[in-house]
Structure 1
Amino acid sequence: MRLSSILSDGMVLQRNSAIPLWGMTGADQTVQIFFNEKEYSIQSDSGGVWRTTLKEMEAGGPYEMRLLSGDQEVVIRDILIGDVWVLGGQSNMELPIRRTLDLLADEVKQVNLPLIRQFAVPQTYNFHAPQQELSGGQWIAATQEHILNFSAAGFFFAREIQERYGVPVGLIHAAVGGTPVEAWISEPTLRGLGGYEDILDQCKDDNYVTGTKVKEEERNQAWYGRLNETDLGLKEGWFRDAWDTSDWEDFVVPGSWSGSELESLRGAVWFRKEFEVPASLAESEVLLKLGTIVDADDTYINGVCIGNTGYMYPPRRYPVPEGLLKPGVNSIAVRVISTQSTGSFIKDMPYKLVADGQELDLEGVWKYRIGTVTEAMQPQTFFQYMSSGVYNSMISPLRNYRIKGALWYQGESNAGQPAGYSEKFAAMVGDWRRNWDIGEFPFIFTQLANLGEADGPQTDWAELREEQRKCLRIPGTAMAVTYDIGEYNDLHPQDKKSVGQRLALGARKAAYGEESLVYSGPLFHSMERSGNSLLLHFDQTGTGLTVRNGDSELRGFEVCGPDGTFVPAKAAISGNTVIVTHDKIDQPSHVRYAWSNNPAKANLYNREGLPASPFTKKLRYN
């Protein structure tokens, strides 16, 4: 007798809903199910497939389920009845709690919430057809043993819901870093949208997929082989405890290779620094925080490799083996591998050793020497990013598992071409709702956080945010605005607690029916012109519009006249309206707010402390 991997120990079943169960056994056999003081009996078909539906149940547990078929018995233990949410999207939904510990370590160090569970859907893809079953996975509980593996945004959402409603919460983690929205849309829907025919057909060719993977793996291995064979630092041992760096060049950490002789270099560069360690720190458990490094690194202390990371995004947090540090002079060596990007020790990140409240700063002048120079590594094909692949293998097989709703954090991979995202997202929501066939279940999504230069000229993320704002037209949705809780220098901001809390506010409104709840920051509603002023009207103003705490004036608005050139505007709050003017524009025709990838000055909030969504609107004259 076989069951889906999601029907397993620790699972959370959806309360107040008819619950499908399914599985495989012998042909034409009786299957008996004993659960929560009820008995169910069904017959498998000639292929051994059986299906049944459990009656609706209130929240509770833990329970045990026994399934009997012939002389076979399966027991599923530690089952909870509560609310089940699917976590979808890319890396900021996938990001585990272990990647947020610089900020949120105290939030999770004592966590013991066994009523919160997570099931991680295996990250696979299928280009031929929607899969019937998952390929693996297991349920884990939010206890000290497993908490660091939880989706951070998902966990903090679940904690809000569990504490407020007192019910178990199950999270089905189905997010994959780097995926565009097209990867989560079904093939028929993409063919209906048009423009995806070639890639859909190409990926159905198994020889193409397998051949590409083999060829690129061989190419990458050859690239690293040449890198390592020619790296003088590896040959001579520049990582050793002691090494003469008197003829090496200076480099200030943190810092970018831009503007230096290293800017265009692809290959390996070695960085070294000596530092004094007090006896009290040498005797403690020590963590090396080495910021974030572009692209990859191997890091040594006193000649011993203590950690390495293969790509640019993860923060470097390396435990130092006990006894490796010694009182007095110690050395650190970092081999930075530049594969495709200009190398960098990212600024405004921690570069230090920490232990029991002690810190030893490692910023400042280091020494560097080039180990080897190579050609740039060629880009890799990531098939999990391709159209429909993860929909078929990670969403379709969940169709029989009852859920409360879905949470979504994605868009970074579509920001390069933001136009039309709202249509694709609406198509995806429709696909998912058809997949589960339980009506217009709640879909709570996250608007992109801030990234890049404060109030800089880049606007592709602002354009994507506008597309996301348009997605609120879809029934049963709510949006968490997050441009005020990101980090300008990190694609993966650590404040997933605030993200989870804001997603929970949206769920409380859309899924739990708290009609009077202020669940969102101000949302642009309409605009009119009065003389040389634009009057902007907002929804979700709560108990009133205000500026961010500590700010003296309302900022972040821009207007333009007939020439189409945007300039910063004066803005003032009047009730639930914002009045926007500019001294030199008599007929303002277009307004926008928070229109930058990192709109640091934007400060319109409601008094409940939630930020207004960015927007752009052109006034149409008769």
Structure 2
Amino acid sequence: MVLQRDEPIFVQGTATPGDKVSVAFHLSSVSCKVNEKGCWQVRLPAEKAGGPYLLAVWTEEETLSFKNVLVGDVWFASGQSNMEHPIEGWEWLPNSSIYRCEEELVDSDYPEIRLFTVPKYPASIEVEEVPIKEWKIPEPESLRGFSSTAWFFAKALYKKLQVPVGIINCSWAGTSIKAWESKAVLNEFKDSLNFKGTPPIPDRDKVVEALRANQQRRCQISIPREGQVREIGLLPTVAWTPFDLKKIPASSEVFWLKKEIDLPERYAKEPLFLSLGLLNRQSIIYFNGREIGEYMYPEPAIALIPKSCICPGRNELLVRLAQPFGPPSVKGDKSLFFMSTRDAGFREDLSEGWSITVQDSILKPEAEYQNYPGALFNGMVHPCLEYNVKGVIWYQGENDVWKPELYAEMFRALILDWRKKWKKEDLPFLYVQISLLPEIDPEAGEPPYQLFREKQCVALPNTGMAYSLDIGDPYDVHPRNKKVVGERLAEQAFRIVYEIK
């Protein structure tokens, strides 16, 4: 692990009431008596950066030893999906790995950086400790599922400061700021949030099982079964139903759409340009059984059909349309649905003549609790408050863009509250500006993104914003160049916290 330098070191635990507990670390040792509730805590003097050291804890009956303990700077990384964004991406979201993923995993030999991930758990009441306490040394396997932003931030700090760095990843995709607020702050906004307390949440085992099931469900929605494309191609005509492309039923999360196209021989000897409007939200396009395009958000579904998969006569255009967060849909003006040669000498209208079928058995969704007000503060932040940290990095806001004014007030309140909870009035708090975001539904009107970005700016000391508008992706809410984000956060730390250039 890494312990925060230049600050008293608190060590706590449980033991038999009345027992004497002794703790030794580096050149210091201290003892205490276990209270009547079986709890104990000691305070060791502050240490300069260094190590590795041994931390020993013992009573007359038992001794625990923690080896390879470093002293340096510890940062707390929190927020929603863009902070969680793993280096290798999400299993359920194809093509979501960061840029140059394998190259970055190879560059992982930094044994003085240590990684900790807070287990996901929303809770109705404040939790005192996390169930799994495991610090990891960076290597490809430990980094694949770790926060990319947090990793690049930690690596940039280490390279410049040359002191051990601990990074605690406490994030959860798709979460609102209200889930990260304490009860005290939520009470301040109870009228705006209609807050009447955090609703009951099942015990940890049930929540973890629900998370596992929902992840499996998302994988089913996002990824076709092996061999399924061939199965779909062999379905009899009676399995398909003619339909209007703009009227996708709401009866399933996954649909297969098919259109047969007759091509004259003279147009089957060169690549063809394909346009299918906007396919919301995850879609894969196949031509004669071969994948030619994959789209994660309602971006323009544009592809080039290689001449190697084009046949004279009958050709089959197949689309797997999926949406993990509601019914799928097809958007766009009729003029956006066509196939043509590059010179437009041939152009085929694709806005009509489609058939639809459902051939995916998707698990039913389990209940989710992560967006209950206060649930993530209770279950994930609160148990970390006794661990001294140098500062916080924060990447969140996409879930709250529709209420920029309220977010501004709640964000400011969160910073002040976390400082109070960590007992550090000047706790550095560095955050990322939300970048370009996709229009989830072009017909619903454009969310007030720019106003939201303005409201993100907080006039509080020891805060700094990493600019990201220039590195976003208008068709992906999760920009994949997280290295730039992490390094810009580090630049804010050098300027505000360490006061170095």
Q: Do these two structures clear the TM 0.5 threshold for a shared fold by scoring above it?
A: yes
Match of 2:432 in 1: 446
How many residues end up aligned between the 2 structures? 419
Describe the shift of the 1:269–1:369 C-alpha distance in structure 2 as closer, same or farther (beyond 3 A): farther
Q: Is the contact between residue 32 and residue 42 of structure 1 (CA under 8 Å) also seen in structure 2? A: yes
Match of 2:378 in 1: 392
Q: Is the contact between residue 239 and residue 333 of structure 1 (CA under 8 Å) also seen in structure 2? A: no
Distance in 2 between the 1:242 and 1:381 partners? Answer: 35
Match of 1:35 in 2: 25
Q: CA deviation at 1:192?
A: 2.1
Task: Give CA-to-partner distance per residue, 1:484-520, whole Å, 9 cap, x none.
Answer: 1010100111011110111011111221123xx4xxx
Of the candidates 81, 84, 88, which is equivalent to residue 94 of structure 1?
84
Of the candidates 62, 65, 72, which is equivalent to residue 75 of structure 1?
65
Task: Give CA-to-partner distance per residue, 1:289-326, whole Å, 9 cap, x none.
Answer: xxx985568999x99xxxxx9x967xxxxxxxxxxxxx
Q: Is the contact between residue 57 and residue 81 of structure 1 (CA under 8 Å) also seen in structure 2? A: yes
Of the candidates 455, 458, 475, which is equivalent to residue 467 of structure 1?
455
Distance in 2 between the 1:344 and 1:147 partners? Answer: 37
Q: Does residue 464 of structure 2 align to residue 478 of structure 1?
A: yes
Task: Give CA-to-partner distance per residue, 1:513-571, whole Å, 9 cap, x none.
Answer: 23xx4xxxxxxxxxxxxxxxxxxxxxxxxxxxxxxxxxxxxxxxxxxxxxxxxxxxxxx
Q: Is the contact between residue 430 and residue 466 of structure 2 (CA under 8 Å) also seen in structure 1? A: yes
Match of 1:260 in 2: 245
Q: Does residue 98 of structure 2 align to residue 112 of structure 1?
A: no
Q: Is the contact between residue 98 and residue 482 of structure 2 (CA under 8 Å) also seen in structure 1? A: no
Q: CA deviation at 1:77?
A: 2.0
Q: CA deviation at 1:247?
A: 10
Match of 1:458 in 2: 446
Q: Which stretches in structure 1 are left out of the alignment for 5+ residues?
A: 1-10, 250-256, 274-291, 304-308, 314-328, 347-364, 518-622
Describe the shift of the 1:30–1:333 C-alpha distance in structure 2 as closer, same or farther (beyond 3 A): farther
Q: CA deviation at 1:392?
A: 1.3
Describe the shift of the 1:414–1:243 C-alpha distance in structure 2 as closer, same or farther (beyond 3 A): same
Q: Is the contact between residue 14 and residue 82 of structure 1 (CA under 8 Å) also seen in structure 2? A: yes
Describe the shift of the 1:189–1:247 C-alpha distance in structure 2 as closer, same or farther (beyond 3 A): closer
Match of 2:48 in 1: 58
Whichever residue aligns with residue 182 of structure 1, its letter is K
Q: How does 1:548-563 map to 2 (within 5 A)?
A: none
Distance in 2 between the 1:293 and 1:382 partners? Answer: 26
Describe the shift of the 1:79–1:388 C-alpha distance in structure 2 as closer, same or farther (beyond 3 A): same
Q: Name the structure, 1 or 2, with higher relative contact order (CA <8 Å, separation 6+).
A: 2
Describe the shift of the 1:452–1:242 C-alpha distance in structure 2 as closer, same or farther (beyond 3 A): closer
Of the candidates 138, 147, 150, which is equivalent to residue 146 of structure 2?
150
Q: Is the contact between residue 248 and residue 368 of structure 1 (CA under 8 Å) also seen in structure 2? A: no
Q: Is the contact between residue 266 and residue 373 of structure 1 (CA under 8 Å) also seen in structure 2? A: no
Q: Does residue 12 of structure 2 align to residue 12 of structure 1?
A: no
Match of 2:407 in 1: 421
Distance in 2 between the 1:81 and 1:26 partners? Answer: 30
Secondary structure of residue in 1 paired with 2:99: helix
Describe the shift of the 1:270–1:65 C-alpha distance in structure 2 as closer, same or farther (beyond 3 A): same
Distance in 2 between the 1:96 and 1:489 partners? Answer: 19
Q: TM-score, normalised by structure 1?
A: 0.59
Whichever residue aligns with residue 84 of structure 1, its letter is V
Describe the shift of the 1:336–1:458 C-alpha distance in structure 2 as closer, same or farther (beyond 3 A): closer
Q: How does 1:36-435 map to 2 (within 5 A)?
A: 36-99=26-89, 101=97, 103-105=99-101, 106-128=103-125, 130-195=126-191, 198-201=194-197, 203-205=198-200, 239-240=230-231, 243=234, 260=245, 263-264=248-249, 266-267=251-252, 268-270=254-256, 294=280, 335-338=320-323, 340-343=326-329, 370-372=356-358, 382-435=368-421
Q: Does residue 450 of structure 2 align to residue 499 of structure 1?
A: no
Distance in 1 between the 2:371 and 2:384 partners? Answer: 20
Distance in 2 between the 1:377 and 1:123 partners? Answer: 21
Distance in 2 between the 1:343 and 1:62 partners? Answer: 56
Whichever residue aligns with residue 172 of structure 1, its letter is I
Describe the shift of the 1:237–1:120 C-alpha distance in structure 2 as closer, same or farther (beyond 3 A): closer
Q: CA deviation at 1:334?
A: 7.3
Describe the shift of the 1:338–1:32 C-alpha distance in structure 2 as closer, same or farther (beyond 3 A): closer
Moved more, 104-113 or 66-75: 104-113
What is the root-mean-square deviation in Å for CA atoms of aligned residues? 4.5
Percent identical among aligned pairs is 28
Distance in 2 between the 1:144 and 1:345 partners? Answer: 40
Secondary structure of residue in 1 paired with 2:88: helix
Higher strand share: 1
Secondary structure of residue in 1 paired with 2:131: coil
Secondary structure of residue in 2 paired with 1:40: strand
Distance in 2 between the 1:492 and 1:417 partners? Answer: 20
Whichever residue aligns with residue 410 of structure 2, its letter is K
Q: TM-score, normalised by structure 2?
A: 0.72
Task: Give CA-to-partner distance per residue, 1:387-418, whole Å, 9 cap, x none.
Answer: 11111111111111010000000111110111
Secondary structure of residue in 1 paired with 2:426: coil
Higher helix share: 2
Q: Is the contact between residue 92 and residue 410 of structure 1 (CA under 8 Å) also seen in structure 2? A: yes
Task: Give CA-to-partner distance per residue, 1:424-475, whole Å, 9 cap, x none.
Answer: 111111111111103311000111111237xx98351111101112x1x111
Match of 1:508 in 2: 494
Distance in 1 between the 2:76 and 2:448 partners? Answer: 28
Q: Is the contact between residue 86 and residue 97 of structure 2 (CA under 8 Å) also seen in structure 1? A: no
Q: CA deviation at 1:30?
A: 1.3
Match of 2:475 in 1: 489
Whichever residue aligns with residue 488 of structure 1, its letter is P
